[in-house]
Every structure is written in structure tokens, then in C-alpha cells.
Amino acid sequence: MTSTVDRPLSGDDRAAMVRHTLEREVPGGIGICSGQQVHPGRGDRFPLHDPTSHALVTEWPDPGREGADLALAAAVEGFARWTALGPAGRADALRTAAQLVEARAGDLARLETLTTGKPLRDTTAELRAVVTMLKFYGGWAERINGETLGGAGSWHAYSLLQPFGVIVAVTPWNAPLLTAAANGLPALAAGNAVVVKPSEFTPASTIRFAQILHEAGLPLGAFVAAPGLGATVGAALTTDRRVGKVVFIGSVSTGRAVASASAAAGIPSILELGGKSANVVFADAGLDDAAAGALSAVFSGTGQSCQAGSRLLVQDSIRDKLLDRIVAGARVLRVGDPLDPETELGPIVHRAQYERVRELVALGVAEGARQLADLPLPAGIATGPMRTGNWCTPVLLDGVAADHSLEHTEVFGPVLAIDTFSDENEALARANGTEFGLASAVWTRDVARAHRFASAIQAGTCYVNCYKVGHPSAPFGGFKSSGWGRASGRGVVEEFTQSKAVWVATQRTAPAFPSLDRQR
């Protein structure tokens, strides 16, 4: 492993730097924000740690059920104001927001990096994606139309597509701003007000985003940041009858519990959950590209990505050649200070997740997988002040068989499970052999095989000779346990509006009861 750490700050100095950044970027503190002021809560205090050292940055109070109520009341009013702007006004506001976010992308990426530990190069790319989404959904806001319905006889019939009112999005800690934008913006474009509850581990950037959207012209309450604990703010938001739809992005177990509670309250949901995505390399693939693609598929974001290509299935005839390239590539990845633009892997976002990653690696080895390369932490981290952080170098586990735990368990960290297959049927069966179905990839020069595979794979996304490319025009979501519903692409229309049929009589219609006609 190479390091980008030269003279790291002590843990306390680093925590002070994160604290100062929070004070500058989110001066009102952590609390409910409907676009301007922040209303801090009064509940249990939740600690934020610096991921690079685990030093305590601050503690913030949970706004609790009272905070959820405040957020929803603001969003109900925000919906009326957002509606009053009309499609053109909403489009203008979202396009202005694209300019403001683009102008402040550097500060926002830095805030995200300091609070999540994700390398600046990752958060900078995420900010570019957020700007793309703001522009894209600014366009959609003016293009949501119903249809004129044919075959209606002596009626003129048409459909209207109307917003639900308030949409609640519950987001995870791995990409707070990206997930808030990816799920909040389509709902806004469709005319809804949105309440986003970020993870308790990473609440800051969503608050800042709410303030920038307001500055861009979104009225107060159109986009509300509602940080808080899942059991209090999250549970209250996702079961309140003022909410038209819930979008949950997170783990399978929490997602199912949230969807059940929402359904019991009569609220429909979209679930975007975890994955164990298969990256399948056939013998005819370009091996250099496949190796580089496999490494970035699993290790970008330090493996904390729902669509990480965390299972590598290699055709047996090229196993050695491909794995040699992958090991050599893993050795040169730059692990270090996430603020350094050269850094490629940072620490894990929070301590509990770091411990889970280590436990799952130990389980994989205990079940018979072999760690392919010993990749120690760079000396600058292992012996410096950052040694107490949540650091985890890339782990390549070879021989993870179909019945091993790591074939089926999402690690959500920099761990690649590797195994071989002999032919296309075996590759497909193996790729489809888990409960998940979020993403997948196939590397081959055989065009027919690529399309066969893309059609047969049970996953919401299939990449061919690439990984993790994307655009908001494409649907994104899961098959099987990876979720239901799609919050992007045409999902704007299908998921965030409800259709209404309007019937207009163009001739006098005969009454249902002939006696009424006889009376006239």
C-alpha cells in the first residue's frame, strides 16, 4: 500500500478541524432545518467522531418525535408554497440550485469528506453527480404531463399526474448528500415537498443542502433536513399520515421494518437496500481493463457502496492472469488522508461498521477463504496519530464458495470475495445465487454473450465492460431483497406522482336509471 500521509495532525487537532468546519458550514448546529434556521433538539446526545482518528468531534441532541413533527409541519406548508410556484418556477429554482451547488462544490465536498472520511476525489465526483441531477430534474419539473385518453366515446378523457404532497426520504451514512439528492430531487421535480432524514452518523451535509436549495429559490419547507435517530425521528416520519410516500435507502433489515411500519400506517414505500453484486469476468475479456474495473468496482468509496462489485467470479482458464493483475493493482492503491486529492481509500465511516468489517473478514477466513495478499497499512498511518482511526486496507479473499457466508453477506467495506467458474451457465447461476439483486457486471468481448447475460442477470443494473457509471435518466434500484421501486429515470413520474382520470361529457349522457329520464 502506498500512503498519502506525510505530517498528519493529531486526533484532537483533526477533530478540532472537523468541528470548526461544521461550525462554519452549519452554523446553527445539527437540527431540523426547513431551509434557513436550524432548530436543535433536546433529546439524547449523539456523538460524532473523526473517522481518521476516532477522536470525538462533537455531540448533538436528537430532535426526537417533536422534531419530526416540526419537520412535517414545515413540509406541509412548504408543499403549498412549492405548488404555488408552478412547474416553471420549480424548474427555475432547481436550475439555480445547480449553479449554487456547482459554485460551492469544493466546500461541500470537503464537508462530506471530513464527516464521512471518504476521499476528496470520491466526494468531488459525488458533487458533480448532484449538480447533474439538479440540472436534469430542473428539466423534468416542466415536463410532467398526463395524457389524452382515446376510445372514450362521448367523453373527452384525460389524466393528470399530481404529487403526493410530502415525501420522506431516509438515507444512509455512506453517501449522505448523493442519496439525499438522488431521492429528494426527483420527488421535488414531481411537485412534492421533501423531508430527508440523514443518518445520525452523517447529518451535516443534508442541512447545508437544505439551506442552499432555499437560497436558490425553493420556498421554506419545500426541502426539509430532519436529522435524528432512526428509532425516534426516523420512526415518527415514516409512519405519519401527513406523508404521501416513504423512500428508504439503507440496510435490508431496517428497510423491511420501516416498510412494514409505513404500510401499517397506510403509506407506500420505495426501498433501496443492500447488495452483493457479482462482477463476472470471462476468458475473452480485456484483462487489464477487467482487473482495473474489478478494483474500482469494490474499493471505491472504501467499499462502502450499495452497488459495490463485492463478488468477483473469474473464468477458471484466466484465474491466475487476472488475479496477478488484481493483486498488483491493490498494492499500489493509495490509502491515506481523505483530504489529500491523491488519496484513493480512506477510513471506514464509523467505528461499529469498522468492527463489523473486521469480524466478517475473520469469518471468511475461518470458513476457508484465503487472503491473497498481505496489504499492511502504510507506515504513516500505522504508526502515526491516525492509527486509532477506522482504517482497513483492501482485502482480497480467494476461494469464497457458494455456501460461504461472504457469498451472501453484504460487508459494506473494502472486501472482495473471489471464486472461479467454468462456463456461462455456471457463472449466471452463481451470480444469481444470492438473495440480493442490486448491480452486476460482465466483462467479455463477445457481444451476444454480453446481451444474454445482461438479460438473464437478476439485478436492477448490469454493466458491460465497465462499472458504476450512471446518469439520472437511468432507473436505479434492486431486484429481489435489494428493494422495490425506482427513484430515478422515469421513476420521477411513476413513483412520485399519482394519476387522476378526468372525464368530461361531450354529449348529454343518458342517466343510469331510465325512470329519471321518464320524469323529465
Q: Which residues are catalytic?
A: 272
Span 281-310, contacts to ligand NAD by CB under 6 A: 306
**Residue among 111 and 348 whose Cβ is closer to ligand NAD:** 348
Kindly state whether residue 58 participates in binding ligand NAD, applying the rule CB under 6 A: no
Q: Name which of 275 and 336 has its Cβ closer to ligand NAD.
A: 275
202 interacts with ligand NAD by CB under 6 A = no
Is the separation of the CB atoms in 133 and 187 below 8 Å?
A: no
Q: Is 46 in the site for ligand NAD (CB under 6 A)?
A: no
Question: What part of residues 433-462 is at the interface with ligand NAD (CB under 6 A)?
Answer: 438
Q: Decide: is 272 part of the binding site for ligand NAD (CB under 6 A).
A: yes
Looking at beta carbons only, is 197 or 480 nearer to ligand NAD?
A: 197
Crossing angle of helices 105-116 and 204-215, in 10° steps, is: 160
Residue 104 contacts residue 75 (beta carbons within 8 Å): no
Q: Which stretch binds ligand NAD (CB under 6 A): 3-11, 135-143, 228-236, 295-303?
A: 228-236
**Under the criterion CB under 6 A, does residue 112 sit at the interface with ligand NAD?**
no
1 or 235: CB nearest ligand NAD: 235
Nearer CB in complex with ligand NAD: 14/245: 245
Note whether 170 binds ligand NAD by CB under 6 A: yes
Buried b (16+ CB within 10 A) or exposed e, 439-463: bbbbbbeeeebbeebbeebbbbbbb
Binding flag, residue 274, ligand NAD (CB under 6 A): yes
Q: Is 309 exposed, middle or buried (0-12, 13-18, 19+ CB in 10 A)?
A: buried
Choices 208-216, 245-253, 283-291, 318-326; region in contact with ligand NAD by CB under 6 A:
245-253
Stretch that binds ligand NAD, among 232-240, 314-322, 357-365, 493-501 (CB under 6 A): 232-240
Continuous H helices in 141-226: 176-189, 204-215
Q: Is 476 exposed, middle or buried (0-12, 13-18, 19+ CB in 10 A)?
A: buried
Rounded to 5, what percent of the chain is helix, strand, coil? 45, 20, 40
Q: Nearest-CA neighbor of 421 among 316, 278, 306?
A: 316
Does position 410 bind ligand NAD by CB under 6 A? yes
Tell me, what amino acid is at 476?
F
Round the CA-based radius of gyration of the chain to a whole number and report it.
Answer: 25
By Cβ distance, which residue is nearest to ligand NAD? Answer: 230
Residue 250 touching ligand NAD (CB under 6 A): yes
Q: Is the dihedral of CA 449, 450, 453, 455 positive or negative?
A: negative
Whole-number minimum distance, CB 397 to ligand NAD, in Å?
19
Q: How far is the CB of 234 from ligand NAD (least distance, A)?
A: 2
**Shortest CB 23 distance to ligand NAD, Å:** 23
Q: What is the nearest approach in angstroms of ligand NAD to the Cβ of residue 157? A: 37
Q: Which is nearer to ligand NAD, 346 or 385 (CB)?
A: 346
Q: Does 273 bind ligand NAD (CB under 6 A)?
A: yes
Q: Residue 239 and residue 232: Cα distance in Å, rounded?
A: 11
Min dist CB 174 to ligand NAD, Å, is 5
Number of residues located near ligand NAD, criterion CB under 6 A: 30
3-state SS assignment for residue 496? helix
Cα 116 to Cα 49, 183, 224, 363, 517, distances in angstroms: 9, 19, 21, 26, 72
Q: Does 179 sit near ligand NAD (CB under 6 A)?
A: yes
The string of DSSP codes covering 309-344 is: --EEEEEGGGHHHHHHHHHHHHHH-EES-TTSTT--
* Beta carbon of residue 458, minimum distance to ligand NAD (angstroms, whole number): 15
If you ran DSSP here, which 8-state letter would residue 509 be given?
P
Output the smallest distance, CB 354 to ligand NAD, in A: 12
CB of 5 to ligand NAD, least distance (A): 27
Contacts of residue 301, Cβ cutoff 8 Å, sequence gap at least 6 = 118, 122, 174, 175, 308
The verdict on 263 binding ligand NAD (CB under 6 A) reads no
Kindly tell me which residue out of 62, 66, 126, 200 binds ligand NAD, with binding defined by CB under 6 A: 200
Say which residues have a Cβ less than 8 Å from residue 81's Cβ, sequence separation at least 6: 219, 220, 221, 222
Q: Is 234 in the site for ligand NAD (CB under 6 A)?
A: yes
The burial class, CB within 10 Å (0-12 / 13-18 / 19+), for 432 is middle
Grid cell for residue 45: 446526545
Site for ligand NAD, rule CB under 6 A: 170-174, 179, 197, 199-200, 230-231, 234-235, 238, 249-251, 254, 257-258, 272-275, 306, 410, 412, 438, 478, 483
